[in-house]
Amino acid sequence: MLIKKALSIKTKLVLLILFFLCVPFLVFGTLWYVRASESIEHNAIEYSEQLMGQINSQLDGYFSDLERITYPLLLHPQIQSFMKLEPEDQYDRFLVSKKISDELFPNITFGRPDIYGLSIVSKNGIATASYSATAAKESYEQYKDALLGDRNYRIVGIEYMESTPVLTIARNFLDTVSYQSNGMLIVYARLNEIIKICEKIKLGESGFVWIMDADGRIVYHPQREKWGEPAQTPKLSANLLASQRGYYVEKAQSDNRLIIYERSQMTGWTLVSEVSLKELNGKMIGLRNVTLWVGLLLVGLALMITGGFSFYLTRSLSHLQRLMRRAEEGDLSVKAPERRNDELGGLNRGFNRMVSQIGRLIEEVQTSHRKEREMEIRQRESALQVMQSQINPHFLYNTLEIINSYAIIEDVQPISRMATSLADIFRYSVGNPGQAVTLMDEIRYIRTYLEIQQERFNTLQVEICVEDELLSQIHGVRLMIQPLVENAFKHGYQANKQKPSYIGITGKLQEGQYVLCIEDRGQGMDSQLMERYNAAFMTDDSKGLPQNGDVSGAFDTIGLWNVHQRIRISFGPSYGLYIVKSDETGTLIEMRLKIINWREGEEDV
């Protein structure tokens, strides 16, 4: 049979370091990096979304302000008069247009450098503007269809006026009587305010913000050549169909970019921010790399230290193993070094003590062999003495048989019964004390003993009530009842100058045990002394019990304690004696015994 070689302590230590240090470090490091990256991206997204919301709010506020400052023009009497002019009213058109240009337009454009120009065009084709009436007519023809239904205010788009990119905002004029559109106000706003708002945002080194209008054209972009051009963003358009705000990652070969978008309900513009994921996680990647190298360095250092210490440890253990092998071969003169003060030093000292002890024990064994030979001779002599000692019991049995014979011849039955009972008692008493007995043997013996006592005391009433069919199944120890009955005669009756009147022995099954009760009607002991006895019986501690003669009328402590200890040693701590009561009416002692199924050799549960 092949025996698999066990791993060395050095290998086990290295494996433990790898398993409990390296693997957890890699696992937790990876989890830490992933969670940290997710947290950074999440924080960046939240921060960017907040910035987008602020920009949209500023843009909405800007356009709301434009709508507010142009609102007085809608109801102005001169504007209403201008809208009612016909093309042939050239003189009136000149006067009204001049007043509008000189009085109304400056009120709107004063202090607003962002407004490039204003133009008003009626549905009759009459136009006036702060810069060019011809351009105003062209704008009207271009944007008159942009405002339909309830859309009275709309940001149309970007166009170039004299090479200047301007944002066109169209607004309907309504007739105060019919509430029908009778013209259009066109505002041309420079992009400087929008640029100023967007350039406030700084998303890292390469991140930026751009704006797309409702028609998909770029309103603002850091690259000016893209202004007014269609935005080539199919993925953004698809996401806008699903949600008005959100984010996604646009993958590229060199760098992935985080795209965050939000559409304004007021303007219909979509504000978009783009930021590099590598830039977001750049510092974290550097921290991860530093942590990884430091962790690998610590692991390598731990492995080196562990390897060196394990080599130092296993070298000492290998030396001790060689010394033990020499000791196994019989060389008990070996000695391990004891200069170390650690556990190995203690192990070496223990080995030296063990070898010394083995040598001493070998000498003792050799000496004991010599003594055994001497004991064999003495045992033979003792056997002769035992044979001689057996002559005396046999002589007593023969003498009792002769007395019994004479009593039978003379027809004196009491003498015959007492001689026979005394012979049975003597024969049972001198039997082997280590031989197992049953409760049937003890009851038979105590009956004989009490018969002699009844011959002695004619006032004695004996009552023995036990189940005969269980007696052979209850295990007992030799002479366990007689000391208790004898105590009843000696201390319960005679010590109190009373004639023995009653001895009762009863048995019952209780919780898997057999409880034998011994009762008398003599004078008992006081309650405190009884409690001391029971406490000693429960704890197996006889220090608190009085010795013989210490307490007047007390039970024979040595006899009771001997019986109790013999029962507990034979059957276990749950068996033994217990004094149920002891007062002036008598004493009742319980003896707990074990029930054994003698046929099956098992405990009867």
Dist CA 171 CA 183 (whole Å):
9
- What is d(CA 310, CA 11) in angstroms, rounded to the nearest whole number? 9
User: Which of the two residues, 310 and 31, has the higher pLDDT score?
Assistant: 31
CA angle (580, 459, 590) in 5-degree steps: 15
Residues recorded for the chain: 605
Q: Which CATH class is domain 7-323?
A: alpha beta
List helix spans (H) across 549-601.
Answer: 557-571
- Given a contact cutoff of 8 angstroms between Cβ atoms, the answer to whether 258 and 277 are in contact is yes
Most confident of 2-16, 410-424, 472-486: 472-486
**Residue among 405, 402, 396 nearest 424 (CA):** 396
CA dist., res. 348 & res. 318, Å (int): 12
CA 210, CA 271: separation in Å to the nearest integer? 6
Q: At 237, is the pLDDT very low, low, confident or very high (cuts 50, 70, 90)?
A: confident
Q: Are 64 and 266 in contact (CB under 8 A)?
A: yes
CA dihedral 421, 424, 426, 429 (to 10 degrees): -120
Q: Is 373 exposed, middle or buried (0-12, 13-18, 19+ CB in 10 A)?
A: exposed
The pLDDT assigned to 139 comes to 61
* pLDDT for residue 5: 58
- Give per-residue pLDDT as tens, 14-46: 677 677 766 777 777 677 767 766 776 677 677
Q: Sign of the C-alpha dihedral, residues 340, 344, 346, 349? A: negative
The answer, yes or no, to whether residue 419 has pLDDT greater than 70, is yes
Residue 602 has pLDDT above 50, yes or no: no
Angle at 118 between CA 113 and CA 119, to 5 degrees: 170
Segment 221-249 mean pLDDT: 81
> Comparing C-alpha atoms, which of 370, 369, 371, 333 is closest to residue 352?
333
C-alpha to C-alpha distance for 260 and 266, rounded to whole angstroms: 19
Residue 487 has pLDDT above 80, yes or no: yes
Strand residue runs (E) in 198-276: 208-212, 218-220, 245-250, 257-263, 270-276
Give residue-wise pLDDT tens across range 375-404. Answer: 665 665 555 454 455 545 666 666 777 787
How many CA within 13 A on the CB side of residue 362? Answer: 8
CA 80 to chain CA centroid, nearest Å: 82
Do residues 182 and 80 make contact, with C-beta atoms less than 8 angstroms apart?
Answer: no
Domain segments of the chain as ranges? 7-323, 431-603
* Main-chain phi, psi angles of 22, to 5 degrees: -70, -50
State the DSSP string of 180-202.
-EEEEEEEEEESHHHHHHHHT--
CA distance 399 to 423: 10
Residue with the larger pLDDT of the pair 138 and 214:
214
Buried b (16+ CB within 10 A) or exposed e, 390-410: eeeeeeeeeebeebbeebeee
Mean pLDDT value across residues 102-130: 78
Contact 269, 211 (CB under 8 A): yes
CA dihedral 446, 451, 456, 457 (to 10 degrees): 90
520-531 confidence digits (pLDDT tens): 999 888 888 888
Other Cβ atoms less than 10 A from the Cβ of 97: the count is 19
Q: Whole-number mean pLDDT of the chain?
A: 76
pLDDT digits (tens, 9 = 90+) for 318-351: 787 888 888 887 777 788 887 777 777 777 888 8
d(CA 592, CA 571): 10
Dihedral of the alpha carbons of 587, 588, 592, 595, in degrees to the nearest 10? 130
Residue 226 zone, left/alpha/beta (φ > 0; ψ -120 to 50; rest): alpha
Both tokens assigned to 46:
């939240």
Q: Indicate the DSSP class of residue 496.
A: G
**How many CB atoms sit inside 10 A of residue 54's CB?**
13
pLDDT at 600: 40
In the chain, DSSP finds a helix count (H) and a strand count (E) of: 16, 18
pTM above 0.85, yes or no: no
In this prediction, residue 359 carries a pLDDT of 80
Average pLDDT for residues 432-442, to the nearest whole number?
76
DSSP 395: H
Class of domain 431-603: alpha beta
Separation of alpha carbons 52 and 197, rounded Å: 11
- What's the pLDDT at 191? 80
Distance CA 400, CA 85 (A): 166
- CA dist 42 and 234 (Å) reads 24
Q: If we measure between CA atoms, which residue out of 405, 479, 385 comes closest to residue 441?
A: 479
Which residues, listed in sequence order, are joined to residue 475 by a DSSP beta bridge?
Answer: 438, 594
- The tokens for 398 are 């023969």
Report the pLDDT value the prediction gives residue 282, as an integer from 0 to 100: 64
